[in-house]
Amino acid sequence: MTFGKSSFQAYVKRMAPNSFYLRAVHISPLPVVRGLWVNLTSGKKVIGGASKENAEDLT
What's the pLDDT score for residue 27?
Answer: 67
What tens-digit pLDDT sequence spans the chain (59 residues)? 555 667 878 888 888 888 888 776 656 778 888 888 988 998 888 887 666 667 776 66
- pTM here is 0.57
What's the pLDDT score for residue 43?
Answer: 86
What's the pLDDT score for residue 55?
Answer: 74
What's the pLDDT score for residue 51?
Answer: 66
Residue 47: strand pairing partners: 22
Q: Which amino acid is at 52?
A: K
Nearest Cα neighbor of 19 from 49, 51, 47 is 47
| Distance of alpha carbon 42 from alpha carbon 40, whole angstroms | 6
Specify whether the CB–CB gap between 38 and 44 falls below 8 A.
Answer: yes
